[in-house]
Structure 1
Amino acid sequence: MVDHTHYDAVIVGGGHNGLVAAAYLAGAGRRVLLLERLERTGGAAVSTRPFAGVDARLSRYSYLVSLLPKRIVRELGLRLELRRRSVSSYTPAVRDGRPTGLLVGADESATRESFERLTGSDREFAAWQRFYAMTGRVAERVFPTLTEPLPDRAALRERVGDPAAWQALFERPLGEAVEERFADDLVRGVVLTDGLIGTFADAHDASLRQNACFLYHVVGGGTGDWDVPVGGMGAVTDALADAARSAGAELRTGHEVTGLATDGRRTEVTYRHGDVERTVDAETVLVNASPRELSLLLGEEPAPTEDGAQFKVNMVLRRLPRLADASVDPADAFAGTFHVGEGYRALGRAYREAAAGELPQAPPSEIYCHSLTDPSILGGEPGAAGWHTLTLFGLHTPASLFRSDNAATRERLLASTLAELDRHLGEPLADCLARDADGRPCVEAKTPVDLERELRLPGGNIFHRDLTFPFVADDSREDGPGSAAARRWGVATGHETVLLCGAGAVRGGGVSGIPGHNAAMAVLGR
């Protein structure tokens, strides 16, 4: 059965960016159809109950929100709450044979004391303040540009207005800035980690992919703060889906797009629902999928993409574990980002091991406890008993490590990652884990290969491809494929009537809605 129907815009993929685009376009009076392969919208930004009989809603693939502009929340009338964490980070360490750590929070005096206990002086704290004052100024100036037409390099450099900051963040490998400003290995590592989330790179990588990743992690909201979505990540995408429907967009789940054909004036979209195949006609198609997936839909040869390099572990605990560093309350240590094995030298070793085709011997990771900031994600017995969720995000684990035997490699990495965490605890994590209705520990792990299979992320890359700086790479908007409006907004694909509206667009990545907004603006401004 083939049913030809015309729409102003068809959106391929119902992740958060596709929902943002749908809400803007439908709100502007366009006839919009959104097609999602899975049985629900949300993509990688969903909440699920992965453990049988355990009433805990985990943000399964993505955890925190920083890049979602208040402008999008306001303009779409989103009903959601983002809650600030009471602690920024805790990083355990062993100094002179004794367990200690670095606790960074809103209390400046307590943070200063923690730096002094760790390093023996106040020099690293002063350097920390100077460095993050610099990134804060960059954030204030760069973040507003992410929902404006794409600037060229010179225009953004002028907007930043700080030659030293521009050199440190945009021109030279991040490792140089870290090594010039900080002396302590642990402090250096804590700074560097923001350049490695989902990005497989060395601190001195000449590609500067680590710099682009770092930039997106420190500019969110103009402050760089990372907040917890109340109700879980699914609350964010549920609010977006409600906004899109209320604006008049038609959302169809369980509908898989199987092909696109464009003549430069309009595009034909073929999709499957069950055993039935249909075709619709659109003035514009916005693709909330990876550039690789778009090429396959168009019948084109996809360009090579960089694999993802993260290991995701979700857990439910009956209680938070005691720490080896007894001077710190576990509720404080886990309230922010808990860094494990992320000293500067350790991160370099892990990268070199993984680049050589081996799992890191001491896998670096960071951990988030959503339930300390938002207990509402726990219901029933877990809520009443004060249980907690933990989400671990491992670094330097590229998809290539898992290709030959994903299941066995996943189990090996899970065991070594949790063992690395245990080194900093006062009791084994296993003693704190809750069990599901079948008596199994509440632990699930996802490799890049798992994400590729479940979400069609190429190589499990959570950013769809390498992140890029938020400016026109060649300092020119005049030439190039796609429409002038699409190039102006950083969402061009090489086809006049097909735009990217997902993480693979310029200024994509993270739970931000920015590519969805920008693709909609390219359509509405055309």
Structure 2
Amino acid sequence: MDRSRARQDHFDAVVVGGGHNGLVAATYLAKAGRSVVVLERQDQVGGAAVSAEAFPGTGARLSRYSYLVSLLPQQIIDDLGLDLELVRRRYSSYTPVAGGTSGLLVDNEDRRATRKSFRRIDAGDDAGAFGEFYGGTATLAERLWPTFMKPLLRRAEARELVGDEEIWNDFIEQPLGRVIERSVASDLVRGILLTDGLISTFARASDEDLQQNKCFLYHVVGGGTGDWDVPVGGMGAVSGALERAALAAGVEIRTGAEVTAVAPNGVVHYLPVEENGPMRSVSGEYVLANVTPAVLGRLMGGPSADGFATTAGAAEGAQVKVNLLLSRLPKLKDPEISPEQAFGGTFHINELYSQLDAAYTAAENGRIPSPLPIEIYCHSLADPSILSDSLRESGAHTLTVFSLQTPHRLTHSADHEVLRAELQAAVLESLNSVLAEPIEDCILRDGDGEPCIETKTTLDLEEILGLTGGNIFHGPLSWPFAEDDAPLETPAQRWGVATDHQRVLLCGAGSQRGGGVSGLGGHSAAMALLEES
């Protein structure tokens, strides 16, 4: 932090929150000649898109919160000159049969092997329908993705652009469960199709509010293909590239700056986190808020401030994240699938369609689901650069486990440390149900002799990152288009970043198309501000 400055500075834009979206917005504006300051509470920028040596003394830098990239447009990478490499994974997913010794491996490079795998789990009749289902999502991706970097279309315009009434009705107008149940018969295959609709979204396949559909859509349109890629160097490489681009463009970044109030006239008050000095303030022609709408509401006058009322339930996330460092990949119960294949894509465990619904019921009644639906990703298989030379040579690997149907409400009536331990135990139990050996036998120990495993709950995300309810999307997801009767008179409205205050714009995941590590919220806010001024 620059301590020589006067207590109030004036900028063209003040960005509240130095997560990846805030850095994207700031860099676009600075490259357009605007003066910009970013205020970040943590001692580093990047928000949830950071890497850290979670296990001291091991030489492994893990993507601590977010971990894959799909929605970050190549245009943003090119526009900002980001030095960033993304790696495509060969395998889409592996899903073991619950209680069995076989599973479904979806191989992106070998359709024949994938069809054989469908037959192996007695779901041969679903193989063709599985491909047709994703053919529909490919049409959505191809038609809708190019609109994400432009002002919002209206619903009728988006529908016309998709140009296929059956696809539009299946994925946009009715609960996702209907097309899933009509398309395939296997409980396992149905579960695979549904999981993309439940990432950090507490929902059922048949819910009429269609939150599962919105979540699903964002998971299948990225890049126009729906592919989820591995950032070489981990998520820290993403935020690092953005920070370098921001500084090169002339953005001023102040870390350790905890924002305490935002005024409609553009004045922002903040406290230096590591100092005992007085309150400081800056002002801007515009304030871009890279915080949740609920947090912005409090900063502007209270939890129910105009335009920012958000209920706790609506804002809740629904996941637990567990990071592990292993001496080696564990052996599977399935004798025909190697660990490298199973962990090479998304490893689905206890995510049958019926299990996902049962898990919802358990969590709705205040219980941790058993078995707990989980998904696993192994960064080090695709990108070993996050490991030290000695770890790579030893055969070590990282695992990231992400649970489904574990809503924030579970943290309300329990001791947090006890709950974290219970959730971690549930994750390990679920994982062990498909392994031929306990995962505990493969977990390395850190420099202090402690097992290399860390668990982050929704409450941790709320307290550490300021994510209301631990929701990685900042709140309920919205469609990537405006309703036909939505007001689109101002640039902020047209770009999906408007608040009730003309000089305050959203620039994070809470904007119209801001979910995920995409930079879209930051891009939209910058475009709206540049159009306005």
Q: Give the TM-score normalised by structure 2.
A: 0.95
**What amino acid sits opposite 1:252 in the alignment?**
R
Q: Please tell me whether the aligned partners of residues 488 and 494 of structure 2 are also in contact (alpha carbons under 8 angstroms).
A: no
Q: Offset of 1:381 from its aligned partner?
A: 2.6
Q: Which residue is equivalent to 1:198?
A: 200
Q: Does 1:416 align with 2:426?
A: yes
**What amino acid sits opposite 1:75 in the alignment?**
D
Q: Which residue is equivalent to 1:229?
A: 231
Q: Does 1:511 align with 2:513?
A: no
Q: Does 1:351 align with 2:352?
A: no
**Which of the numbers 96, 110, 114 marks the counterpart of 2:113?**
110
Q: Does 1:367 align with 2:363?
A: no
SS in structure 2 opposite 1:88? strand
- Structural mapping, 1:75-90, within 5 Å: 75-90=79-94
Q: Does 1:494 align with 2:500?
A: yes
SS in structure 1 opposite 2:134? helix
Q: Which residue is equivalent to 1:280?
A: 282
Q: Please tell me whether the aligned partners of residues 231 and 374 of structure 1 are also in contact (alpha carbons under 8 angstroms).
A: yes
Q: Which residue is equivalent to 1:331?
A: 340
Q: Which residue is equivalent to 2:391?
A: 382
Q: Please tell me whether the aligned partners of residues 502 and 508 of structure 1 are also in contact (alpha carbons under 8 angstroms).
A: yes
- Structural mapping, 1:73-472, within 5 Å: 73-94=77-98, 98-106=100-108, 107-121=110-124, 123-263=125-265, 267-273=266-272, 274-276=275-277, 277-302=279-304, 303=309, 304=311, 305-403=314-412, 404-472=414-482
Q: Offset of 1:478 from its aligned partner?
A: 4.4
- Structural mapping, 1:16-35, within 5 Å: 16-35=20-39
Q: Please tell me whether the aligned partners of residues 295 and 303 of structure 2 are also in contact (alpha carbons under 8 angstroms).
A: no
Q: Please tell me whether the aligned partners of residues 2 and 279 of structure 1 are also in contact (alpha carbons under 8 angstroms).
A: no
Partners of 1:314 and 1:476 in 2: CA distance:
42
- CA root-mean-square deviation: 1.2
**What amino acid sits opposite 1:72 in the alignment?**
I
Partners of 2:76 and 2:343 in 1: CA distance:
30
Q: Which residue is equivalent to 2:71?
A: 67
Q: Does 1:36 align with 2:40?
A: yes
Q: Offset of 1:109 from its aligned partner?
A: 1.1
**What amino acid sits opposite 1:238 in the alignment?**
G
1:347-367 residue CA offsets vs partner (Å, 9 max, x unmatched)? 000001101111101100100
1:331-381 residue CA offsets vs partner (Å, 9 max, x unmatched)? 010000000100000000000110111110110010000000000000043
Q: Give the TM-score normalised by structure 1.
A: 0.96
Q: Please tell me whether the aligned partners of residues 153 and 475 of structure 1 are also in contact (alpha carbons under 8 angstroms).
A: no
Q: Offset of 1:406 from its aligned partner?
A: 1.3
Q: Which residue is equivalent to 2:15?
A: 11
Partners of 1:127 and 1:294 in 2: CA distance:
45
Name segments (4+ residues, structure 1) moved above 6 Å.
none
Q: Which residue is equivalent to 1:51?
A: 55
Partners of 2:315 and 2:515 in 1: CA distance:
14
SS in structure 1 opposite 2:105? strand
**What amino acid sits opposite 2:248 in the alignment?**
S
Relative to structure 1, is the Cα distance of residues 297 and 129 closer, same or farther in structure 2, using a 3 angstrom cutoff? Answer: same
Partners of 2:516 and 2:262 in 1: CA distance:
26
Q: Offset of 1:413 from its aligned partner?
A: 1.7
Q: Offset of 1:475 from its aligned partner?
A: 3.0
Q: Please tell me whether the aligned partners of residues 16 and 291 of structure 2 are also in contact (alpha carbons under 8 angstroms).
A: yes
SS in structure 1 opposite 2:55? coil
Partners of 1:290 and 1:65 in 2: CA distance:
21
5+ long unaligned stretches in structure 1: none
Q: Offset of 1:503 from its aligned partner?
A: 0.3
1:72-105 residue CA offsets vs partner (Å, 9 max, x unmatched)? 00111100100001211000114xx741000001
Q: Offset of 1:474 from its aligned partner?
A: 5.0
SS in structure 2 opposite 1:66? coil
1:360-418 residue CA offsets vs partner (Å, 9 max, x unmatched)? 01100100000000000000431221200000000111111122211111111211221
Q: Offset of 1:301 from its aligned partner?
A: 3.1
Partners of 2:42 and 2:501 in 1: CA distance:
26
Worse-matched range after superposition: 397-406 or 55-64 = 397-406
**What amino acid sits opposite 1:361 in the alignment?**
S
1:442-495 residue CA offsets vs partner (Å, 9 max, x unmatched)? 10001111111111110111111011111113533346xxxx110010000110
% identical equivalent positions: 55
Q: Does 1:523 align with 2:521?
A: no
Q: Offset of 1:275 from its aligned partner?
A: 2.5
**What amino acid sits opposite 1:65 in the alignment?**
V
Partners of 2:117 and 2:183 in 1: CA distance:
18
Partners of 1:2 and 1:358 in 2: CA distance:
53
Q: Offset of 1:423 from its aligned partner?
A: 1.2
5+ long unaligned stretches in structure 2: none
Q: Please tell me whether the aligned partners of residues 402 and 410 of structure 1 are also in contact (alpha carbons under 8 angstroms).
A: no
**What amino acid sits opposite 1:393 in the alignment?**
F
Q: Offset of 1:300 from its aligned partner?
A: 3.2
SS in structure 1 opposite 2:121? helix
Q: Please tell me whether the aligned partners of residues 156 and 484 of structure 2 are also in contact (alpha carbons under 8 angstroms).
A: no
Partners of 2:395 and 2:286 in 1: CA distance:
49
